[in-house]
Structure 1
């Protein structure tokens, strides 16, 4: 009788552990190849993304990869100018979120924080201070926000004159299979100005939505207005 009970318990445990491992494998495979979320720890994408935002990454936006690898099973699209993507940094392999400003073949330059793409200066429109309330206490230094028209894709950028940064660089051509990334917080972003072009295989997916937002400067209070908001 005791042996029968032990056998039943052992069979139950083996079945439970097996089911758990299968469920774990399925869940992590989905996270690796289909969708994931990324907790943003810095303000390099302000004013679009704030510290404490949890952003959804669509890993099927451009291709299908073998789970846990960067090997492509199929590719149906490529990142476009203006899109926000998550990728592995070539410097330390950490996940970063930035905006695509240069695609393969583009010539990108900057002069005093004005971006040029293929010889054309991007247009900027100043945002009045009343529209800056969403930039909370995490931003200490004085800043200005502009709407940048990135070859037809409008989005907000931020500059901080008192912050040391690379505000100008000569025209550089983006090689095939690579992308030039920049943070919307132009004077406080470690991006392609510092670590160079991003290989297509390093791009994990497109950041599409702020799922949850917690104000890390105010006891992690929810920023309800940012919940489930789409990224521009």
Structure 2
């Protein structure tokens, strides 16, 4: 083993540096579920900027310093406060915000979100088949609009009692509101558990169908104007 290490020390050093780069600077994140439909699809691989908010000690959640502040509407990867699973959701409420949900409508700091441009679509759910989906542009408290999706036929948590987001924590929701395990179920997300800001789709393949590449999604920004 020592002889192999000595003979391949350049390769071993590369792997170590590459690992540090992925855990401290930039990363990519495969999308495994439908919780961010219609904006992120299963089979998308997104680029994640790990330096968007924090500098962390590699391989840990120890924050060495702050590099920026999460903004409402950011798509963020983070470790679930419930079980440590890596998730990707959208930042909806910031520390100190008072937020509630009434029959799907968000109300933040007393201001109701705007919903425009209803489009009908189909959502395929294993075991249930094709369900009706309603896609709308949601705009919250001056942030850029983003498309979200409702599934009227699915039993979901469509109401949330008013609460104030604690200091240093964030409320996250999936864009596919009725099919997302987010802060309604796992609670607020502490800043130390944020991994990074998802910036764009690097590559994409139809993993639920024919596995062909979806080249039209390659390089797609996650923050293009609605």
TM-score by length of 2: 0.91
**From 110, 121, 124, the counterpart of 1:119:** 110
Partner of 1:183: 174
**From 140, 143, 151, the counterpart of 2:130:** 140
How many residues matched? 218
Q: After TM superposition, what 4+ stretches of structure 1 lie above 6 angstroms from structure 2? A: none
Cα distance in 1, alignment partners of residues 131 and 202 from structure 2: 28
Structure 1: tracts of 5 or more residues without a match:
1-9
Per-residue deviation at 1:128?
Answer: 3.5
Q: Secondary structure of 2:132's match? A: coil
Deviations 1:201-231 (A, max 9, x none): 0000000111111112212111111111000
Q: Secondary structure of 1:229's match? A: coil
Partner of 2:187: 196
Q: Is the 8 A contact 1:103 1:174 kept in 2?
A: yes
Deviations 1:69-117 (A, max 9, x none): 1112221212111000000011111100000001100011101111111
Cα distance in 2, alignment partners of residues 24 and 18 from structure 1: 10
Deviations 1:126-181 (A, max 9, x none): 2434xx5xx77568211100000022221000000011110011111000010000
Cα distance in 1, alignment partners of residues 203 and 130 from structure 2: 23
Q: Secondary structure of 1:225's match? A: helix
1:21 matches 2:17: no
Structure 2: tracts of 5 or more residues without a match:
none
**From 83, 86, 89, the counterpart of 1:92:** 83
Q: Is the 8 A contact 1:137 1:217 kept in 2?
A: no
Partner of 2:200: 209
> Which protein shows a greater Rg?
1
In proportion to residue count, which structure has more helix? 1
Q: Is the 8 A contact 1:145 1:158 kept in 2?
A: yes
Partner of 1:6: none
Cα distance in 2, alignment partners of residues 16 and 67 from structure 1: 26
1:150 matches 2:140: yes
Cα distance in 1, alignment partners of residues 140 and 39 from structure 2: 15
1:71 matches 2:62: yes
1:50 matches 2:44: no
Q: Is the 8 A contact 2:51 2:67 kept in 1?
A: no
Distance 1:140 1:29, change over 3 A: same
